[in-house]
Each structure stands twice: as C-alpha cells, then as structure tokens.
Chains A and B, each alone.
Chain A
Amino acid sequence: KNQVEQSPQSLIILEGKNCTLQCNYTVSPFSNLRWYKQDTGRGPVSLTIMTFSENTKSNGRYTATLDADTKQSSLHITASQLSDSASYICVVSRRVNNNAGNMLTFGGGTRLMVKP
C-alpha cells in the first residue's frame, strides 16, 4: 500500500533553534518527493523537490535530504523564525498509467510552532 508517514505530528521550538522533520514512505514506483509548507488558512506551497538521484537540496534555511534506499526524507530548518510556524507536508509522487502521468500520496503533516 502506498503510504507516507511523518513524524513528529507536532513540534514546538524556540525562535533561533534548529529542527528536523521526518518522512518515511512506501510509495512505488517512486518518481519524486516534495516538501510543502502550509500556513494556517492558506494552501500548501512547494518548498523543494527531491528526485531519485538527489541526496540533499537546500532552499534558504530549509535543507531536504533523501535516502532512496531506506525510503526516508528529512527537512531541516536552520535558525528558525516565527514565520516558520506552519504545517509541513511530505508528498511522494509515483508514476501511473493514467492521463495524469503520476499520482501523489500526502503525509499527514508536521505542525511546527516557533515561539519567541
């Protein structure tokens, strides 16, 4: 069964601290993995995409890693800011033989709160 599990479900950190969010998946055949940030009351926005051959990718203070062998990804946030408070959703894409070309499986998200 195609599944994406994220941990922790929620996390509270102090402003300026680092944190790491985890994503484990069983999706197959794997196409890519994307991290989205969803602010309260808004739609998700893509942060970064990881393909099979990529191990690490950075987008400002966000660094994503991918281990395709163990089917794990992480999102590391450095020097957190109050504006990082949001839900972070791991989404894995798999190839399918339909008109969409690929289908997405969403994790349940990690709700991060950054406190001053």
Chain B
Amino acid sequence: DVKVTQSSRYLVKRTGEKVFLECVQDMDHENMFWYRQDPGLGLRLIYFSYDVKMKEKGDIPEGYSVSREKKERFSLILESASTNQTSMYLCASRTQGLGQPQHFGDGTRLSIL
C-alpha cells in the first residue's frame, strides 16, 4: 500500500514564524501536492511538484513556498505565518498516468496564534 506520511498531526505556531510542513511518500511517485482544507471550501491546491526540484503554483500559492530536493519528500513552507493560514494541510502523491489516484496523508492541523 502507498504510504504518505506527514510529519506532524497537530502544530501550533505564532504569527510571523517561519513554518515547515514535511511530507514523505514511499512509492517513488513523480507527482506530489499540497492542499489546504477549510470547512465549506473543499480542498484547494497550494503547490504541486511533478519532479525533483520542479514546482508549479496551484490556486492559492500566496504566502507559501515549497521545496522538493528529493523525490520522496515535499516540504511546504509558510514564510511568515499569519492567522488566516490556520487550516488543515493535506499532502498527496501520485504516479504519472491518466486516471491515477492521488494518495493522501492524514493531514496536519495547523493553528497560528
């Protein structure tokens, strides 16, 4: 089974801090994704990566950056955390190919105080 592991289930940080969310997948997937999930809004794509060191902006990239130095690891960075970034963050990975599903981690619930 595919396993996508997010480093923290719960995280509390302060406004202005630099925050790192880590995600690791064990299936050699080419594509990796970061989403945030808010009540009533569904999942929204922040960034995705289709290969090592490659990244593309999703629908809501403002205030975030990403890093993919190794194929199995995709990091989301909040450069200067703000209260409106309090949310559930979900990482996903997928192999190339039409119709392949995304496999999700269990999420990191991030609170910015």
Contact = CB atoms under 8 A, between A and B. Distances in A.
Contact of B41 (A51, A99, A108): A108
Contacts of A46: 101-102
Contacts of B99: 31-32, 49, 51, 93
17 contacts: A32-B99, A41-B107, A43-B106, A44-B43, A46-B102, A51-B99, A93-B99, A99-B54, A100-B50, A100-B56, A101-B96, A103-B45, A104-B45, A107-B42, A108-B40, A108-B41, A108-B42
Contact of B101 (A34, A42, A106, A107): A34
Contacts of A4: 42
Contacts, number: 51
Interface string B54-77: 101000000000000000000000
B56 A99 contact: yes
Contacts of A104: 45, 102
A-B pairs with lowest CB-CB distance, top 9: A43-B104, A106-B42, A46-B101, A99-B50, A106-B43, A108-B42, A43-B106, A42-B106, A44-B104
A79 interface: no
Contacts of A45: 104
Contacts of A102: 98
